[in-house]
Structure 1
Amino acid sequence: MSTDEPGPDAYTARSSRVVNARKLQRRRGRDKAERFLAEGPQAVREAISAGVVTDLFYDLDADTRHSDLIDAAVAAGAHVHPCTDEGLAALAETVTPQGLVAVCRFLDQRLPEDPKLVAVLHGITDPGNAGTVLRAADAAGADCVVFGTDSVDPYNGKCVRSSAGSLFHLPVVRAADTADLLDVFAHAQILAAAAGGDDLYALDAAGDLDAPTVWLFGSEAHGLDEATAALAHRRVGVPIWGRAESLNLAVAAGVCLYASAAAQRRKLEWAHVLRSPRIYPARRVRAGRLADHSSPAGCGRAARLF
């Protein structure tokens, strides 16, 4: 049994284990230790299932409410530490702590071979948006999510919470350079979510969304920079039929990912319908802009995604 009992008293905010774990609230501390924090029963449950929990801190109330998770953590070989309310509050990053904070190992993730659907986040600095995109990608059945150039750390506490456990479900890769990363997906179509792009649903109707696809998403405030958007085969916008001025990044990303996922599944279900395969030529980032593809006429104005 790996339970660490701190004597008659629970750990406080000044206990050395709590002080050391608190360093993981900053990216420098996370990268140095190759550990991060997962807060709340949902995240802790998924982290335990993924086998990455090394330590679990809990308040005395959680000892009763979440005894199953504490037992599961012990069974998985984690050290568990009862804390005072003050001690747990020092580790929690929410206004109302949920009683559980786990220390987790970095997830050793690699890009999957021949992925069908990938989301690439470029310059997305808002951890809430990034985590929600990750959650949408997981729900849509994506094969991978890449945090590219200048994007938030996927192990940021708010990003982990916003992912609602999805961080532990699919490969999440940190890439130093988005452009170089795209070379890995040599035979997938690269679609940039951008204002003024081709109508998403017109492309779907034309059968242009069922191929292996890498979606590029930029920041909500500024979208994709011109150089990165130019790396895509197409720029695609979500049509707005109502009076909204724009769509939230995470909402737009969810719409795009689900459109691709649905098209790819229809293709599998209708495999008896013969169609010549589309081949997307290998591309080199430094070789200049790819040839522009023609697109069907849109039906509605393209959304300002960000």
Structure 2
Amino acid sequence: MPNLDIITTRSDAAVQRIIDVTKHSRSIVRTALIEDAEPLVQCIRAGVEFVEVYGIDTNPVPDALLTACRQRNIPVRLIESSIVKQIFKTDKVPKTFGIARVPRPWGLKDLASSTGDVIVLDGVKIVGNIGAIVRTSFALGSAGIVLVDSDLVSIADRRLVRASRGYVFSLPVILASRTEAVDYFRGKEMRLMAFDADGKFAVSDLRNVDERLALLFGSEKTGTSSDFEAISAGSVSIPINPAAESLNVSVSAGIALHERVARNLSR
């Protein structure tokens, strides 16, 4: 590992910058904390702009991360472990982390620039599920994700960045009101297919549909809303053991996207 400057005092401006970005009460989110080497590298590859990346003086910074930072001229420094513990207090202390400038928010209109399927999450609020769906969507060729009534105020939410392993910046993830989303999909030539336990079609029926689809998933408790059901072109079910109550929404989305992978990845 190359010789890196070490922050040895809490009065360094970077320390206060890190403390500020970890506060949960921020009303305006302009910067985000990205934790751990893999998400950092993924965010850098996605074109996210970083103020600085940090490691702990007792742990080497991975070579892949150093290389990614060097290629993008991102400064890297170490911080004394005692200071890092003061910054994160009772939180899990990451071995590497960085301060990123939050990109401009995606909008529904940005979905028109690609041809892959779109995932619509109606009332899905568990951040871990959303993060898993983001990661799977990127891997299997989805063009984007629309989050409706998710309770998130920014896709740069620290929990979501962590749950998605940094992939939240690698494809359009859009926060929309139910009215905005319903109006958008009502007026588009993109069939909205709602996933439901009693769906008319089996998920395997989607495998050879050679057109762009919007795949709608509701929360496990309440399902999809009547507003979306009114504009859906059809309903889809995933066959499961009748002794099982349901599938986790992130698993359902993964199964659906796998059925569509040949079409989506080819584009």
- State whether residues 38 and 104 of structure 1, in contact with CA within 8 Å, keep that contact through their aligned partners in structure 2: yes
Whether 1:179 and 2:179 are equivalent positions in the alignment is no
Partners of 1:115 and 1:93 lie apart in 2 by 45
How much has 1:101 moved relative to structure 2? 1.1
Please tell me the root mean square deviation across aligned C-alpha atoms, in Å: 3.1
How much has 1:256 moved relative to structure 2? 1.3
Whether 1:47 and 2:43 are equivalent positions in the alignment is yes
Tell me whether 196-205 or 241-250 shows the greater mean CA deviation: 196-205
Whether 1:37 and 2:38 are equivalent positions in the alignment is no
Residue 275 (structure 1) aligns with: none
How much has 1:103 moved relative to structure 2? 1.3
Residue 61 (structure 1) aligns with: 58
- State whether residues 198 and 234 of structure 1, in contact with CA within 8 Å, keep that contact through their aligned partners in structure 2: yes
How much has 1:72 moved relative to structure 2? 3.6
Partners of 1:124 and 1:91 lie apart in 2 by 32
Partners of 1:71 and 1:162 lie apart in 2 by 24
Deviations along 1:82-112, one digit per CA (max 9) or x if unpaired, are: 2232443466699643411111122344324
Say if 1:223 and 1:84 are closer, same or farther in 2 by CA, change over 3 A: farther
2:246 aligned counterpart, secondary structure: coil
Taking the TM superposition and a 5 Å limit, the aligned residue runs for 1:51-90 are: 51-52=47-48, 53-62=50-59, 64-70=60-66, 72-89=68-85
Residue 122 (structure 1) aligns with: 122
Residue 293 (structure 1) aligns with: none
- State whether residues 143 and 171 of structure 1, in contact with CA within 8 Å, keep that contact through their aligned partners in structure 2: yes
Say if 1:115 and 1:155 are closer, same or farther in 2 by CA, change over 3 A: same
- Match of 2:58, as an amino acid? D
Q: Which of 203, 207, 211 does residue 205 from structure 2 map onto?
A: 203
Partners of 1:96 and 1:125 lie apart in 2 by 23
How much has 1:128 moved relative to structure 2? 0.6
Deviations along 1:239-287, one digit per CA (max 9) or x if unpaired, are: 113632211110011111221234x369x8xxxxxxxxxxxxxxxxxxx
Partners of 2:176 and 2:90 lie apart in 1 by 28
How much has 1:169 moved relative to structure 2? 2.5
Tell me whether 247-256 or 170-179 shows the greater mean CA deviation: 170-179
Residue 279 (structure 1) aligns with: none
Partners of 1:69 and 1:18 lie apart in 2 by 21
- Match of 1:24, as an amino acid? V
How much has 1:71 moved relative to structure 2? 5.3
- State whether residues 203 and 237 of structure 2, in contact with CA within 8 Å, keep that contact through their aligned partners in structure 1: no
- State whether residues 134 and 145 of structure 2, in contact with CA within 8 Å, keep that contact through their aligned partners in structure 1: yes
Q: Decide which structure has the larger Cα Rg and report it.
A: 1
Gaps of 5+ in 1: 269-306
Taking the TM superposition and a 5 Å limit, the aligned residue runs for 1:17-32 are: 17-26=14-23, 29=26, 32=28
Residue 158 (structure 1) aligns with: 159
- Match of 2:102, as an amino acid? F
Residue 236 (structure 1) aligns with: 236
- Match of 1:44, as an amino acid? L
- State whether residues 189 and 212 of structure 1, in contact with CA within 8 Å, keep that contact through their aligned partners in structure 2: yes
- State whether residues 30 and 101 of structure 2, in contact with CA within 8 Å, keep that contact through their aligned partners in structure 1: yes
Q: Which of 104, 107, 111 does residue 103 from structure 2 map onto?
A: 107
Partners of 1:169 and 1:252 lie apart in 2 by 21
Partners of 2:186 and 2:19 lie apart in 1 by 38
Q: TM-score, normalised by structure 2?
A: 0.80
Residue 134 (structure 2) aligns with: 134
Whether 1:192 and 2:194 are equivalent positions in the alignment is yes
How much has 1:231 moved relative to structure 2? 2.5
Residue 145 (structure 1) aligns with: 145
2:142 aligned counterpart, secondary structure: coil
Q: Which of 8, 11, 14 does residue 10 from structure 1 map onto?
A: 8
- Match of 2:53, as an amino acid? L
Residue 288 (structure 1) aligns with: none
How much has 1:135 moved relative to structure 2? 0.9
- Match of 1:19, as an amino acid? Q
Q: TM-score, normalised by structure 1?
A: 0.71
How much has 1:46 moved relative to structure 2? 1.3
- State whether residues 202 and 237 of structure 2, in contact with CA within 8 Å, keep that contact through their aligned partners in structure 1: yes
Gaps of 5+ in 2: none
How many pairs are equivalent?
A: 256
Tell me whether 243-252 or 209-218 shows the greater mean CA deviation: 209-218
Taking the TM superposition and a 5 Å limit, the aligned residue runs for 1:274-293 are: none
How much has 1:115 moved relative to structure 2? 2.2
Residue 291 (structure 1) aligns with: none
